[in-house]
Structure 1
Amino acid sequence: MLPMLDAMPEVIGAVAPAVTALAIGTGFLEATVRTATPLALAAMGECVSERAGVINIGLEGSIIAGALGATVAAAAVGVGGGFVVGALAGLVVAAVFALFTVGLRADQIITGTAITMFALGLTGTVYRTVFGASGVALSTPTSGVVPIPGLSQLPLIGPAFFSQPVITYVVMLLAPLLAWWMQRTQSGLALRAIGEYPEAAVAAGIAPRRYQLLAVLFAGAMAGLAGATLVLAQAGTFVEGMSAGRGFIAIAIVVLGRWRPLCVAAAALVFGAANSLQLLFQSMGWSGVPYQLFLSLPYVLTLLVLAGASGRTAAPAALGKRD
């Protein structure tokens, strides 16, 4: 018995690093999925819009509008109502974008940029008007974690994929559903035809503007859900400018995912991992390394993706064209 007791410290010393590594890996993967959820929502909506030939640079505006709408609504009608109002707020911003780009055939880049700047300024003004200088603090109700029995107990992947808020499960179901819709349904094929060969689509009796309008509105609603997720499933509060470039990152994710919903969802995990990695690096407390360098990781990755994808990915042929 005594030799066994003498060997216990060595056994514990050998097991402890493995347990610590597993805990760190589980936490990192869980944070990756959580961070990727709003990015995947916005990116899948943008994927549908770009497949119809419309690049929605105003996606950032829909995200911040959805975040503020969810904050106001959740305080009045609860978390479920917050998600609904967040999606509607994002849809309203997208409707303004669609009015100019789909209806009046205005330049998509210029219009989207203007709408994003307007939405960022408007949400800040409304926020200060409704909640005052002190803000909403941490009083916003949030969506709790809903573990899936059995699956959530799996090591490493269980807490990451099967112990998340309901909105994360929505993303997991939506990605394959959108992929099937684009590949197997008449309306999905019509949408893709508009983004590739609009003249052929018109000759086949397809109304491009109607499809483009619906695609842009869908993208706006998804971006609004992404903003609502930031507030109701993550931060628990609203902060001015909290979209923090996620709309532009979502556009980069669409490029990395090659305009395919399943690949887009996977690409969102890559960007989620980059964001979680910078948090991990900051928690390590590396002396001498400015924390701003870690904060820049997701944005550096965005630039690298856009630079590396130049000339290597087949974007929809009619993407961004007004005629």
Structure 2
Amino acid sequence: MDAQDISAGGIMGAGFVLVVLQLFQGVQQLDGFQGTDLYVVFTFETVPFVVVSMALMYVGSWLLTRADLDEELPRVVAWGAGSVALFGSVAALLVFSLQVTLAGDTLEQAPYIVVNLVTVGALAGVLVGIYDARSRIRQRELQHERDRVELFANKAADINNYGRALNRSESVEEVSSLCLEAIQTFLGLTDLAFAVVNDEVHFVDDTTVGLEQETLTDLIRASREQEQATAVVHDDVAAMTFRVTDNADGTSVIVALTEDGSVGGEDVQLLEMLVSHAATALDRIHERQMQASNSR
């Protein structure tokens, strides 16, 4: 039995005990009443608090199904216990205050007053505890979302820094080196390849290990048909490929082997940004080479 079962079961048990106590004292309060007075007293003096007790039982059963509140259940129980103690103390103070003020037999009604207030206090405390727990969960979710967005923004800024470095590159080899370095930095992937393919496949860089050369070559050739600067995840091989750009020298392709075949959506967006920068850099390099060739 885990903590969730114990905490939620305890709340249900407390509700059941209060139902029994309310019914027991409700029957006791009927002494001295007859006829329709019996029904009126029981309906307005006992039934409302029985309903409150049953509501506490329902809340306990509901908490059994709430996996999202599992870590916060001790806080809910603490709120409930604290509320019981508070309302019980208030009841005791009221009883003794009335006893002194009215100089009557108020103490005879003490058990009824205490049980009624404890019943209300238990439900109120648990409900407040649930609200507090859900607020804290929501706060953690917002904090996690802020951290995720901040991390993505920082990575995007780093990608832009790589983009500026790529635009200063003077050769395909420099572009390849920067792209593979960025992928290793952001994703921790080490099995990477940068190739230029036309009739033949020319590997600019290849750090892949354990993958047959023929399989890698087939991936690169197939990447010529995919959309530019868009990630394609392959099912037969745990790999992701990018077609960077096309020019007279051929089609530039990046292959990244993934351990489990999956990369997060935001990381894919970052890689596509990187590939777009690489495409721009390669186009500029090719344009400069063409201009230099024509000027001869």
Scaled to the shorter chain, the TM-score interval is under 0.3
Q: TM-score, normalised by structure 2?
A: 0.25
**Greater Rg, structure 1 or structure 2?**
2
**Structure (1/2) with the larger strand percentage:** 2
Higher relative contact order (CA 8 A, sep 6+): 1
Q: If the length of structure 1 is used for normalisation, what is the TM-score?
A: 0.24
